[in-house]
Amino acid sequence: MPVVAETIIGIRALIAEEKARLVDAGTMSPRVAFVATMGALHAGHMALVKRARKRGEIVVVSIFVNPTQFSPTEDLSRYPRDLAADLATLEGSGTTFVFAPTPEEIYPHATTDTVVSAGRVGGLFEGRTRAGHFDGVLTVVAKLANIIRPDVMVFGQKDAQQAFLVNRMLSDLNFPISLEVVPTVREDDGLALSSRNRFLDERERRAAIVLSHMLEAAGSAADLGIDAVIAAAQSVSMGEPLVTVDYFGVVNPATFLPVDDDYRGPATAIVAARVGATRLIDNEGIYLA
């Protein structure tokens, strides 16, 4: 079972002690790899931990449901929390330490007046639907990066906009941290793994596969241009009454801005939809020829 720290002082002390132990054992400049999570761990998170284990001698996983990235109308209280189950999932994974702070430890004044702005991209797509969401994400990631001081951070491709914005923040603010992005882990039928999948009933679970089918249709139409891509995705979604699409878009992965009609090259198709009462997101790389 990984060693758990609940305080900033505690996790910093554990990392310092482990670095000293590794140096004494002959490891020069041991590296720290960090995976930030909100718990409710599943196989997608474990893929991040596996990559982290390859990138660092010390692997730190945080479990923290960050309140500042939830709006008043969102499901903060509903978000699943089971630290014991998460620790059991991490057992044998190669995780060295788990940082599981309380909200009061991260935000001792209930919130923070100093925030990291996600800028223009932070107001698009997920940011348009969830106002202030990415400011909350980037602020807590910056705080966690300063607490853990890792050499590498590992994020998942499923949250493509988040990964883009974190990478841009690390570059813009000169964090000495590299970012690894791990491909989306999917169920056998293609549904992207998500902590929110547990909220789907049997009918909704069958309907949710429409998101990945939309992305498949988009990829199949990519050689016909952006209009064909959008039409192909929309035609798939119209066949499932339990799914209400929030947005479908195609962005340039270098900027995360919508591509122009004449764009050619690698692109990312992104989708968000509500399946019953549960909101899901997904994305897939395509190539516009």
Out of 45, 109, 133, 213, which one is annotated catalytic? 45
The CATH classification number of 195-288 equals 3.30.1300.10
Write out pLDDT tens, residues 217-236. Answer: 999 999 999 999 999 999 99
HSE of 191 in the Cβ direction (CA atoms, 13 Å)? 19
How confident is the prediction along the chain (289 residues), in pLDDT tens digits per residue? 899 999 999 999 999 999 999 999 999 999 999 999 999 999 999 999 999 999 999 999 999 999 999 877 677 877 888 999 999 999 999 999 999 999 999 999 988 889 999 999 999 999 998 989 999 999 999 999 999 999 999 999 999 999 999 999 999 999 999 999 999 999 999 999 999 999 999 999 999 999 999 999 999 999 999 999 999 999 999 989 999 999 999 999 999 999 999 999 999 999 999 999 999 999 999 999 9
Q: What pLDDT does residue 112 have?
A: 86
**Three-state secondary-structure class, residue 3:** strand
For residues 184 and 88, give the distance between their C-alpha atoms in angstroms, rounded to a whole number: 22
Contacts of 50 (CB under 8 A, 6+ apart): 93, 94
Q: What pLDDT does residue 78 have?
A: 77
Q: What pLDDT does residue 238 have?
A: 92
CATH architecture of 3-182: 3-Layer(aba) Sandwich (3.40)
Respond yes or no: is residue 45 known to be catalytic: yes
Q: What pLDDT does residue 3 have?
A: 97
List the domain boundaries for the chain.
3-182, 195-288
Q: Name the strand (E) or helix (H) holding 104.
A: helix 103-106
| 5, two tokens | 């720290």
Write out pLDDT tens, residues 25-76. Answer: 999 999 999 999 999 999 999 999 999 999 999 999 999 999 999 877 677 8
